[in-house]
Amino acid sequence: MPCIFCYVDPVSPYAWLALHALGRIEQAAGAPVELVPVLFAGLLKSHGNIGPAELPAKRRYVFRDVMREAARRGLPFAGPPGHPFSPLLALRACTAVAEPAGRRTLMPALTSAC
């Protein structure tokens, strides 16, 4: 059965939102979602970009947007004490778990902790 790959970096509040919708996404797609850890900052750097959290106006917008969507879904969202932050330790832990089922448990927990 084909699967959908979802690339996740715990630094992203949008990843947090997406991880809360995995069941709904799988049901709509008719395929399982496999979580893949990725360093968002590395992708940005390779394309000569900076992240939205590094621009004050975009950082404020992102958090307002995520707070609105979280409220719409009935999810409690407080945000991290500082943003951006280094997600490397969380990503290394996720990479150490090779089985999709293990990542499916670990990645949402780490993203929520972030």
Instruction: Name the pLDDT band for 98 (thresholds 50, 70, 90).
Output: confident
* pLDDT reading at 82 higher than 80: no
Q: pLDDT by residue (tens digit) across 18-73?
A: 999 999 999 999 999 999 999 988 888 999 998 888 888 988 898 899 999 999 99
CA distances from 88 to 60, 95, 101, 110 (A): 23, 10, 21, 11
Find all residues with CB under 8 Å of 62, minimum gap 6, and list them.
13, 14, 52, 53
Instruction: Map out the domains of the chain with their CATH numbers.
Output: 4-113 (3.40.30.10)
Does residue 1 surpass a pLDDT of 70?
no
